[in-house]
A and B are shown apart, each in its own frame.
Chain A
């Protein structure tokens, strides 16, 4: 399990990285390496060139900017998890990050790497979708932004041209009172989720004003449970409404694999939606 031969490049700036990415044949970006290095060791990937993003200071860092939190693509998952603004204003993001791998992988793994790797079960992919993050992308044709919902094109396929890279993302800091919960089911602590559910409830007059429900792990890309969201609007926040919302999972058409059949993911999704909604409501400031 040793990586195959490749050439190694270490750009010092974003421009240099973009130039390399556009100029080199069969090149691959190396971020935290927590997914790419195992793929190299198992010889599932054979890049001719690795472009190491770890020496580009502008790509890392977290800044609060008006009503948004801007996170550089090369920000380590651990740094985002520890950030006081995340803890205080985006607790659901912290809740999700705590379940991404382990201390050692979060110390090295990056936010951008997780989003671009786009594992269907990745917590960050689900939570960035739930939080409607906005992605910043750079390439030879300049910079552009994209809502997270439009980023996953299919199974592990981000909406990036081969010569583009993700430079950062922005989270809107919540203005209205809300309750949020990210919950997942994984076999062991730190494993990828089999299914994850992110629920946000905005209370209005003691009832549910608006609801957002996002599922990870049920399809190749995150799924918004729109039918349930619509059904919950204006409802009383009780076990009955939450069970009805969870029942919407019956219509999901999840992935089927040797270890985890589709029916199980569907059942799990229903359980997690119900539990996420219940906890989100407990956390919502209804008084």
Chain B
């Protein structure tokens, strides 16, 4: 890594600001918050995938010891401006409006949907009483599979709906028909990709605290979106902005679903107001499986056209996407999937039709990667197939099609979902592929392949380009207090990705390089007036840029005021630790605190400097265009043909996320994503039966990767600073996950090449692998 050559803390592996509390068990996660008189909520959830609610009897539950209240939608409705959560991101493509209710009242449309809420003295008793709420259901036919959902005559996920087609969109550019008509090679594939849940180790949860004296409400919420949550509460509870504060405490992982606003996030604060007591709700893991959003099935029917040399002429097809039962966020997962498909390559013509299908399952919203792993899988599977058909190696066909470095910045014909032109800003994609191939000793692989025993070895490759840093802005304020401490507040929300450390680095770089002096407040609506929160690998890019701009302004002010105090020119001053001093002259000078005091002003005296009072600045640097990170992955695997087990032996990950603010944090983000990607490729499967009953609702059934499944991983860095922001950084929070499934699929197919099988689905369980071998008509040479 080249990093930041002339910096003091940027680009360095400084100790994290988050660690001292967390390592001693002194973090403050939402369930760590205790308040006197606090009550506990538990939810009654639907056991049916689809049913009409005919009656709800809460009398027995209300009579149980310790129970303070039981609420149904009927009880809450008089206190709500709307009984639905209207959270869908805008799109003209919707055919069905699926805004979910705060509590279900006439119909339930997935197992786990909240029907009633119990509030009791302790969580054990709340759970006892929830089981005693008597809900009468009239079961209705349920639809589980997204492809079946779009067939004529399929049961509808919502009673009375015209169909299950939530939305249909076409993403298109270039002359697609002509490209296919004139193509030397056409490849067609049907692919099935499943991704599961996010499974942050901390589930969701919130504590809502009413303040009857000032008629205010404070909500500690394990969310990625505190400002959006506040907005929703103001809207639905009819409160003014000054009455509501949402604070994100330490968050035990987010990975996507915590950017959604959920029914519980409205019901619990309302219960707190109605009971006039603090109310806590902590989601348990079983609820997480049936109520926290997931990313699940996509069926891709895709075609690739190339010329005789393997140069891509066009891509077309249809994507059917499982949307779940409600629109909990929008259409961004299938949009992201389709957008990711062609990005790394020169694709002159492209048309993908997206069909979004409602099913009687948990709503779908982005999980780390947000559709991009699926899009990359589709593209890379097509390329492998084309290479085989043309007699090219898999690396060669990619080399012929990757966007070359000399074309950067490359304006693709695509637009983002917000209508912004997609321009690949920087990078050397072929170089990343070469780095990965070299480190994996791709050319030396034939010698490692070995003979034809029970265990077969294979190697695979994939490339990705990821859109990161979704704008338009993030708010950051920087202030030097008279104590000499520097306070940074932002609308960005932290969920374990070191946001506080990163912002402290950016600010400290300008203001003395002493990280210990910087306090960072994230995710508190009282500390930052606006904010977009954490998603789309955006925090470093957007909040980092604003922090940089604000710190640069504060620095100028510090030097100006200090210059006046010291009677030297501002240009001759520097800030070192807590002191402002004459360049290169240790000792002497004036402390940051003294400068702040002077800048604070005194009644009746003229302010020092020319730029107003206080050493403070706030910024919302607007960056509409997204910055595109890229990388290449090589996976080497062993497939045991006796058990169907796939073992990843070595993963090489060569990537480019622009400049790294903190190399070790970048590696940590990637490694977490890689583990998640291995899970998506081989282990994680959120199973439902044909009636949409979930089958994997414990962590013993839904398999997360543990330390024993992790292979040797080699990470290589290339840095192409982006011109789009002053720090030259791109997002990295999701990159790790994106190319893993595609690379592993390629490697497994290669390992089983004697059998002639094709890997057209993920995840790939040992059962799937043996089934493929059984279906193979090719007799392996043993």
A interface residues, Cβ below 8 angstroms from B: 1-5, 38, 42-43, 185, 187-192, 258-261, 264, 267-268, 271-272, 274-275
**Cα–Cα distance between A1 and B131 once the two chains are bound (Å):** 12
Contacting residue for B767 out of A38, A42, A264, CB 8 A? A264
Question: Which residue of B has the minimal Cβ distance to A1?
Answer: B284
With A188-B683, A189-B706, A259-B687 as given contacts, are A1 and B285 in contact (CB-CB < 8 Å)?
Answer: yes
**Cα–Cα distance between A261 and B689 once the two chains are bound (Å):** 14
Contacting residue for B703 out of A4, A5, A38, A187, CB 8 A? A187
Docked-complex contact A188 and B706, CB < 8 angstroms: yes
Question: Which residue of A has the minimal Cβ distance to B708?
Answer: A189
Docked-complex contact B643 and A268, CB < 8 angstroms: yes
Docked-complex contact A258 and B123, CB < 8 angstroms: no
With A4-B128, A260-B767 as given contacts, are A185 and B123 in contact (CB-CB < 8 Å)?
Answer: no
Docked-complex contact B123 and A191, CB < 8 angstroms: no
Docked-complex contact B123 and A259, CB < 8 angstroms: no
With A2-B124, A189-B706 as given contacts, are A261 and B767 in contact (CB-CB < 8 Å)?
Answer: yes
Docked-complex contact B123 and A2, CB < 8 angstroms: yes
**Cα–Cα distance between A48 and B770 once the two chains are bound (Å):** 46
B interface residues, Cβ below 8 angstroms from A: 123-124, 127-128, 131, 284-286, 454, 642-645, 683, 687, 689, 695-696, 698, 700-701, 703, 705-706, 708-709, 765-767, 770-771
Min C-beta distance of B314 to chain A, whole Å: 39
**Cα–Cα distance between A191 and B124 once the two chains are bound (Å):** 29
Contacting residue for B700 out of A5, A189, A191, A258, CB 8 A? A191
Min C-beta distance of A264 to chain B, whole Å: 5
**Cα–Cα distance between A268 and B706 once the two chains are bound (Å):** 23
**Cα–Cα distance between A271 and B770 once the two chains are bound (Å):** 12
With a CB–CB cut-off of 8 A, which chain B residues contact A271?
A: 454, 642-643
Docked-complex contact B770 and A258, CB < 8 angstroms: no
Question: Which residue of A has the minimal Cβ distance to B709?
Answer: A188
Docked-complex contact A258 and B695, CB < 8 angstroms: yes
**Cα–Cα distance between A187 and B123 once the two chains are bound (Å):** 34
Docked-complex contact A188 and B703, CB < 8 angstroms: yes
**Cα–Cα distance between A1 and B100 once the two chains are bound (Å):** 25
Min C-beta distance of B296 to chain A, whole Å: 16
**Cα–Cα distance between A44 and B689 once the two chains are bound (Å):** 20
Min C-beta distance of B326 to chain A, whole Å: 24
Min C-beta distance of B62 to chain A, whole Å: 18
Question: Which residue of A has the minimal Cβ distance to B771?
Answer: A264
Docked-complex contact A267 and B770, CB < 8 angstroms: yes
With a CB–CB cut-off of 8 A, which chain A residues contact B695?
A: 258-259
With A2-B124, A258-B695, A260-B767 as given contacts, are A188 and B286 in contact (CB-CB < 8 Å)?
Answer: no
With a CB–CB cut-off of 8 A, which chain B residues contact A38?
A: 698
**Cα–Cα distance between A189 and B710 once the two chains are bound (Å):** 11
Q: List 15 A-B contacts (CB under 8 A).
A: A1-B285, A2-B123, A2-B124, A38-B698, A42-B286, A42-B698, A188-B683, A188-B703, A189-B706, A258-B689, A258-B695, A259-B696, A259-B701, A264-B766, A264-B767
Given contacts A1-B285, A260-B767, 19 further A-B contacts (CB under 8 A): A4-B128, A5-B128, A38-B698, A43-B127, A185-B643, A185-B645, A185-B766, A187-B766, A188-B706, A188-B709, A258-B689, A259-B695, A259-B767, A261-B767, A264-B644, A264-B767, A268-B642, A272-B643, A274-B642
Docked-complex contact B131 and A43, CB < 8 angstroms: yes
Contacting residue for A275 out of B642, B689, B765, CB 8 A? B642
Min C-beta distance of A21 to chain B, whole Å: 26
Docked-complex contact A187 and B687, CB < 8 angstroms: no
With a CB–CB cut-off of 8 A, which chain B residues contact A188?
A: 683, 703, 705-706, 708-709
With a CB–CB cut-off of 8 A, which chain A residues contact B766?
A: 185, 187, 264
Top 6 A-B pairs, shortest CB-CB distance: A271-B642, A189-B708, A1-B284, A2-B124, A264-B767, A185-B643
With a CB–CB cut-off of 8 A, which chain B residues contact A264?
A: 644, 766-767, 770-771
With a CB–CB cut-off of 8 A, which chain A residues contact B700?
A: 191-192
Min C-beta distance of B19 to chain A, whole Å: 24
With a CB–CB cut-off of 8 A, which chain B residues contact A191?
A: 700, 703
Question: Which residue of A has the minimal Cβ distance to B695?
Answer: A258
With a CB–CB cut-off of 8 A, which chain B residues contact A272?
A: 643
- Most B CB contacts (10 A, CB to CB) among A3, A259, A272 go to A259
Min C-beta distance of A277 to chain B, whole Å: 13
Min C-beta distance of A182 to chain B, whole Å: 16
**Cα–Cα distance between A18 and B723 once the two chains are bound (Å):** 77
- Most B CB contacts (10 A, CB to CB) among A38, A42, A272 go to A42
Min C-beta distance of A239 to chain B, whole Å: 12
With a CB–CB cut-off of 8 A, which chain B residues contact A1?
A: 127, 284-286
With a CB–CB cut-off of 8 A, which chain A residues contact B701?
A: 259
**Cα–Cα distance between A195 and B514 once the two chains are bound (Å):** 58
With a CB–CB cut-off of 8 A, which chain A residues contact B644?
A: 264
With a CB–CB cut-off of 8 A, which chain A residues contact B767?
A: 259-261, 264
Min C-beta distance of A185 to chain B, whole Å: 5
Question: Which residue of B has the minimal Cβ distance to A268?
Answer: B643
**Cα–Cα distance between A188 and B127 once the two chains are bound (Å):** 32
**Cα–Cα distance between A4 and B64 once the two chains are bound (Å):** 13
Question: Which residue of A has the minimal Cβ distance to B685?
Answer: A259
Min C-beta distance of A256 to chain B, whole Å: 12
**Cα–Cα distance between A109 and B6 once the two chains are bound (Å):** 57
With a CB–CB cut-off of 8 A, which chain A residues contact B642?
A: 268, 271, 274-275
Question: Which residue of B has the minimal Cβ distance to A195?
Answer: B643
**Cα–Cα distance between A190 and B709 once the two chains are bound (Å):** 11
**Cα–Cα distance between A2 and B128 once the two chains are bound (Å):** 9
Question: Which residue of B has the minimal Cβ distance to A258?
Answer: B695
Min C-beta distance of A3 to chain B, whole Å: 8
Min C-beta distance of B255 to chain A, whole Å: 20
With a CB–CB cut-off of 8 A, which chain A residues contact B709?
A: 188-189
Question: Which residue of A has the minimal Cβ distance to B645?
Answer: A185
**Cα–Cα distance between A270 and B123 once the two chains are bound (Å):** 48
Question: Which residue of B has the minimal Cβ distance to A185?
Answer: B643
With a CB–CB cut-off of 8 A, which chain B residues contact A185?
A: 643, 645, 766
Docked-complex contact A187 and B683, CB < 8 angstroms: yes
Min C-beta distance of A186 to chain B, whole Å: 10
Min C-beta distance of B518 to chain A, whole Å: 39
With a CB–CB cut-off of 8 A, which chain A residues contact B124?
A: 2-3
Question: Which residue of B has the minimal Cβ distance to A102?
Answer: B706
Question: Which residue of A has the minimal Cβ distance to B123?
Answer: A2
Min C-beta distance of A191 to chain B, whole Å: 7
Question: Which residue of A has the minimal Cβ distance to B42?
Answer: A2
Min C-beta distance of A164 to chain B, whole Å: 29
**Cα–Cα distance between A4 and B124 once the two chains are bound (Å):** 7
**Cα–Cα distance between A94 and B767 once the two chains are bound (Å):** 28
Min C-beta distance of A134 to chain B, whole Å: 31
With a CB–CB cut-off of 8 A, which chain A residues contact B703?
A: 187-188, 191
Question: Which residue of B has the minimal Cβ distance to A42?
Answer: B286
Docked-complex contact B687 and A258, CB < 8 angstroms: yes
Docked-complex contact A2 and B770, CB < 8 angstroms: no
Question: Which residue of A has the minimal Cβ distance to B284?
Answer: A1
With a CB–CB cut-off of 8 A, which chain B residues contact A42?
A: 286, 698
**Cα–Cα distance between A73 and B611 once the two chains are bound (Å):** 79
**Cα–Cα distance between A3 and B127 once the two chains are bound (Å):** 9
**Cα–Cα distance between A185 and B644 once the two chains are bound (Å):** 10
Min C-beta distance of A5 to chain B, whole Å: 7
With a CB–CB cut-off of 8 A, which chain B residues contact A2?
A: 123-124, 127
Min C-beta distance of A207 to chain B, whole Å: 25
Min C-beta distance of A247 to chain B, whole Å: 14
With a CB–CB cut-off of 8 A, which chain B residues contact A3?
A: 124
With a CB–CB cut-off of 8 A, which chain B residues contact A259?
A: 687, 695-696, 701, 765, 767
With a CB–CB cut-off of 8 A, which chain B residues contact A187?
A: 683, 703, 766
Min C-beta distance of B661 to chain A, whole Å: 34
**Cα–Cα distance between A1 and B706 once the two chains are bound (Å):** 23
**Cα–Cα distance between A267 and B769 once the two chains are bound (Å):** 12
Min C-beta distance of B543 to chain A, whole Å: 36
With a CB–CB cut-off of 8 A, which chain A residues contact B643?
A: 185, 268, 271-272
Question: Which residue of A has the minimal Cβ distance to B287?
Answer: A1
With a CB–CB cut-off of 8 A, which chain B residues contact A260?
A: 767
Question: Which residue of B has the minimal Cβ distance to A192?
Answer: B700
Question: Which residue of A has the minimal Cβ distance to B706?
Answer: A188
Min C-beta distance of A65 to chain B, whole Å: 37
